[in-house]
Structure 1
Amino acid sequence: MNRHAAATLLTAVLLVIAGCSAPTANPTPNTGPGTASPTDPSSPTATPTEPPTATATSTDAPTPTATPTPAGGVTVYGDLSVNATLVWEHVVASLDGEYETPIVSVRDTSLPAQAGSFATQLGLDEGLERFDEGRIRASYSRQTGRVRISPRNGSTAQVTRILAHEYVHAVQSQRYRSNRSSLVGQATERESFGIRRALVEGSAVYVEDAYTRQFLGFSAIERRCAEYRNGTAYERYAGQAYCFGGQYFSSQLDSPSELLSSNVTLPNTTEQLLHPGTSDPPANLTVVDETPADWSTPASYPRRGELFVRTVLGTELPEDRAIEAAAGWGNDRVVRVSRDTEGYVWVLRWDTADDAAEFENAFAEYLDAPGNRTADGWRVDDDRYRLTTVDDRTIAVVTGNETFVDSVSVTGEGGNVTVAGES
């Protein structure tokens, strides 16, 4: 696994609805019409945010190849193999409302796949370089009100499915503008990047699934989750919010018409997302930065959540083992330090001592797969990894170059953790 960190450009979270860059492989539909390339919210210069989104550019301008449409229909710039207006009408009918019709721009371009620096450090970039091969990509731009799509060689069913997903984001955008307590508005109030993304994308997947079941004869959620389980590490990373977000809404709602109600109760963590009915708040966890002044650390430490833990472990361990080891998650924080090179301290607080021990054992197995175990941790390519037992319920993963890992200490008790180091 390539463990070298790569900086990523982050954008405002409210543009989450525009960032779908849909991956659907040919000939078998991927878990991702609408799957965005998730970026890393651990940058010291940005808050947890979403992937780069489509913006107004000269390539979005009307062209002579525009497809004529009836009054009130969807205008398509470029060649599209599906009836864009009919798909829009079906989506809007399922959501039970009237909305401004978007414009569709067909372009043979897409945003590049990305992995955040911390995700890369944990091997979730494996398969990234092949992610775009033969895939349909699409996104919705809140600024321009346009869906941009690159159909490539996708089948009619694949293109239809992606278009339906992006249309949901168009509706979400309009609902958010008119009602800040809408699903998107509630989602953006969540602290965790992972839960925000799962709610916005998962709700679109739920509508997409209703569409594919009714008109295309298959379940989009089932196909998304199959690719999550069977895909590369990067496909798991990119697709986690879509699979489990879609499953959550499918388990809680009877029809898409209920989705846009302000009365919909949303989970606050991915633990609650994975276990509907669970209402436990995150466990108490305070991380204090006492690293040297010449070390650069972010002002806030983002939470990753149970779903991220499961996804990481599942890249090397059997899925049932990853699920078991991630259960019992209580809270976590990531501290990113920039010195000669980047380093990370991932502090995880568990519900019980047994849960903490189970995670520690599983993470050791996860590191054994690509790495070499030494007396002081693991070596994976040029990076070092060390597991530290902070107290009976708190485990810290320390990773980076050798100098960083050797100089960092993590101490604490009862969920009060101090990260320190030597210059």
Structure 2
Amino acid sequence: MRRASAVFLTVVVVLAGLTPVAAAAPGDAAVDPAPVEATTAQTADNESAPADPESDRLGWENGYWHNESIDIDQSDGLTEAELNATVSRATARVEVIRGLEFDMAPPVEIVSREEFASSGNRSSSEAFRTFDDTKFEALFMIGESEDSLEVQDENRGATVGGYYSPAADSIVLVADNQSELQVDELTLGHELVHAIQDQEFNLTAYTSETRDGANANSGLIEGDANYVQHRYEQRCGEGGSWNGTCLSPESGDGGGGPPNMGVYFLNYQPYSDGPSFIAATYRQGGWAAVNDLYDAPPESAEQVIHPDRYGTDPPTAVELSDQHGEGWERVRPENRLAHAEVGQSGVAAMFAYPLYADRPGVQGYARNVVGPNTWLNYTDSQQLSQLDPLNYGFDAAAGWDGDRMHFYQNTAGETGYVWRLVWDSPEDATAFRDAYAELLAYWGAEQVGEQTYHIPESSGSSFADAFHATVNGDTVTIVNAPTTDSLSEIRSSADPQVATPTATPDPTATPAATSPDETADPATSTTNSPGFSAVTALVAVLAAALLAGRRR
């Protein structure tokens, strides 16, 4: 019955976990339409179950209505019967919100975080490891001495809340409480959305070999699931039709903070911008319009960040020829694209990461590129938006129109790269180039030429290298090499223009509003398929940024 070859993995983010206070952004409540018109059977109060219908219908699944109470105590974990009842009712609730009927509810398994984290190890070719390491080094997220795949696996193990597997047509929920496995109903609801998406639209059809393409697809798939989850949470909250009946786990003893906020932000973009993208579509044409998106998904993450550009502003296919010299070779992993495209998500995450990074010698938050009040989306009541908490559309990233990265390695095992970005206008290109220079300064760079920078080993930075950044109209080209002398070996046109070294001072560092341990606790999670779960450690990090932003 199912597609045995399907390997599309999904993992879910609990959006509420990202917000210090679960407050709706301006208009959030307004986009949640009135409840589905009730029938006599649906209007029964939560103390008694209405009669079962004669045939399956929206809002009823496997003997349970969406609005009936179920007698469950999960303090000592869930029995199989309790789990089945919880899944059946949650399935009915997703049907009511999303307006789609399940063919069948998928089986659900609960595992401990410890068990899930131990299953994340993967084997990859040396070429792919070099490719991936260099990509994250280019984004100033993972240093040269670290293994990017290990960092991503650690992120995933720490923060995944659950996933839906199309190949197995099943859901796995990850519980932080190691002794009693409990359900977070919002996470369950999110994963059930993925199950019905797969039944209706075939999730295995949405694949990409680039980060920008993956985030574009996830902007639709995760945006849909997170928007449904947002409305599910509203119904569970005070004044909602399901208030007092929704299950949430006790405080867990697992999880902890994921290790890298930069990687987290790169992958979190669809979960922040996707719900707003879906909400905008829903307001125009209801769920029918959202369903139509699956026939024409966004072409880039930019179209999710800026919904008005969907269907009107396709990304530029960036051209980039190789100009490397003798002794260097292009890194080309087998069975995948030999270049990377990180998109506006990658650019924005790169600039935001210093807010949370722990760079030796720099105290407090770096605000030379983007500050907390720019990065975090506040509501009129000065709370972090629940629907769209992070701003990936600030000025230094908003003009992105396309990018392409090539990676190189020499016989000594050293690496370098060329990153070309095309912008909507020359002014946007210059704005990015200026912000990039400020980012280099944050990571310890000294300017050694008009277009050339060097991060010395003595800076203590994880990114000690040489950089050459030029602007030509609407195009920026960045060349990286181990030394200034080797820049032209990576790209022959990269003239270092070495002058008398003039140190570029570190950006002005505002004293930390909290202790160094509190400001330097990076956290993150990621996977290259829908869904992953934020944990409580992330709340503290974003709350610290919010506090620091108020003290600027």
Q: Under a length normalisation based on structure 1, what TM-score does the superposition of the two structures give?
A: 0.67
Aligned to 2:18: 30
Aligned to 1:324: 395
Match of 2:190 among 156, 165, 171: 165
Q: How does 1:9-408 map to 2 (within 5 A)?
A: 15-16=7-8, 18-20=9-11, 22=12, 29-30=17-18, 83-95=86-98, 96-108=100-112, 109-111=115-117, 112=120, 116-117=132-133, 118-125=135-142, 131=155, 135=159, 137-153=161-177, 159-177=184-202, 185=205, 192-216=213-237, 232-254=261-283, 255-256=286-287, 258-261=289-292, 265-278=296-309, 279-283=312-316, 285-291=318-324, 295-298=329-332, 300-316=338-354, 317-319=369-371, 320=374, 323-339=394-410, 340-375=413-448, 376-379=452-455, 380-381=461-462, 383-389=464-470, 391-402=472-483, 405=487, 407-408=489-490
Alpha-carbon separation, structure 2, partners of 1:328 and 1:145: 40
* Partner SS state of residue 465, structure 2: strand
Q: Which amino acid aligns with 1:139?
A: Y
Kept after mapping to 2: 8 A contact 1:106/1:148 = yes
Alpha-carbon separation, structure 2, partners of 1:367 and 1:216: 45
Alpha-carbon separation, structure 2, partners of 1:77 and 1:400: 57
| Unmatched tracts of structure 1, length 5 or more | 1-12, 32-69, 178-182, 220-230, 413-423
- Aligned in 2, Cα 1:357/1:176: closer, same or farther, shift over 3 Å? same
Which is worse superposed, 357-366 or 208-217? 208-217
* Partner SS state of residue 302, structure 1: coil
Q: Which amino acid aligns with 2:425?
A: T
Alpha-carbon separation, structure 2, partners of 1:341 and 1:248: 42
Alpha-carbon separation, structure 2, partners of 1:140 and 1:261: 22
* Partner SS state of residue 105, structure 1: strand
- Aligned in 2, Cα 1:194/1:262: closer, same or farther, shift over 3 Å? closer
Higher relative contact order (CA 8 A, sep 6+): 2
Alpha-carbon separation, structure 1, partners of 2:238 and 2:314: 39
Cα shift at 1:102: 0.4
- Aligned in 2, Cα 1:188/1:163: closer, same or farther, shift over 3 Å? same
Alpha-carbon separation, structure 2, partners of 1:162 and 1:335: 38
Aligned to 1:8: none
Cα shift at 1:29: 1.6
Cα shift at 1:366: 1.3
Kept after mapping to 2: 8 A contact 1:137/1:150 = yes
Q: Which amino acid aligns with 1:169?
A: H
Q: Percent identity?
A: 20
- Aligned in 2, Cα 1:269/1:135: closer, same or farther, shift over 3 Å? closer
Cα shift at 1:374: 4.0
Q: Under a length normalisation based on structure 2, what TM-score does the superposition of the two structures give?
A: 0.53
